[in-house]
Amino acid sequence: MSTIFSKIASGEIPSYKVAGDECCYAFLDINPIAKGHTLVIPRKEVDYLFDLDEKTLSNLWLFAQKTAKAIQAAVPCVRVGVAVLGLEVPHAHIHLIPLNSEADVDFKKPKLELTPSEFDAIAKAIGEKWGKV
């Protein structure tokens, strides 16, 4: 059985793609807590991040690093924060969240409501920086 994130990584379910390679995929969180809130996932289907094999886990973190640099270049922020929850979707993923203050990483606050064209523009802006910074 495929997880929703596997279907996103394979293109079966649409997403606002930021970047992808043979191991990993990055896309915008559909319920963002900040503009540029991005998820990075391994294509391999493993529920819990810390159950990933060493090679996939290290590839994922290196992929997250490139993605975070691209986010920082595209979205004004002080830093890119990292969170690992996995309480909703049983497919390992890392949240990358542009931060300007501690409050920006509050998962309980109301989610941002962005239009499809706003999502598209953010994904495109981050994607254009990916691998160049």
Min separation Cβ 55 and ligand AMP, Å: 23
Residues of 4-16 as b/e, b for ≥16 C-beta within 10 angstroms?
Answer: ebbebbeeeeebb
In the annotation, is 93 catalytic? yes
Q: Which residue has the tokens 């390679």?
A: 21
Find the angle CA(132)-CA(12)-CA(42) to the nearest 5 degrees.
50
15 binds ligand AMP (CB under 6 A): yes
# of chain residues touching ligand AMP (CB under 6 A) = 11
85 binds ligand AMP (CB under 6 A): yes
Q: Which residue has the tokens 């706003």?
A: 118
Q: Which residue has the tokens 């981050």?
A: 126
> Residues 37, 91, 93, 95: which is the catalytic one?
93
52 near 46, Cβ under 8 Å?
yes
Specify the stretch interacting with ligand AMP by CB under 6 A; choose among 28-36, 69-77, 113-121, 125-133: 28-36
| Sign of CA pseudo-dihedral 77, 69, 16, 103 | negative
Q: Which is nearer to ligand AMP, 103 or 133 (CB)?
A: 103
Site for ligand AMP in 99-128 (CB under 6 A): none
Question: Which residues are known to be catalytic?
Answer: 93
User: Which residues are at the interface with ligand AMP (CB under 6 A)?
Assistant: 4, 15, 29-31, 39, 85-89
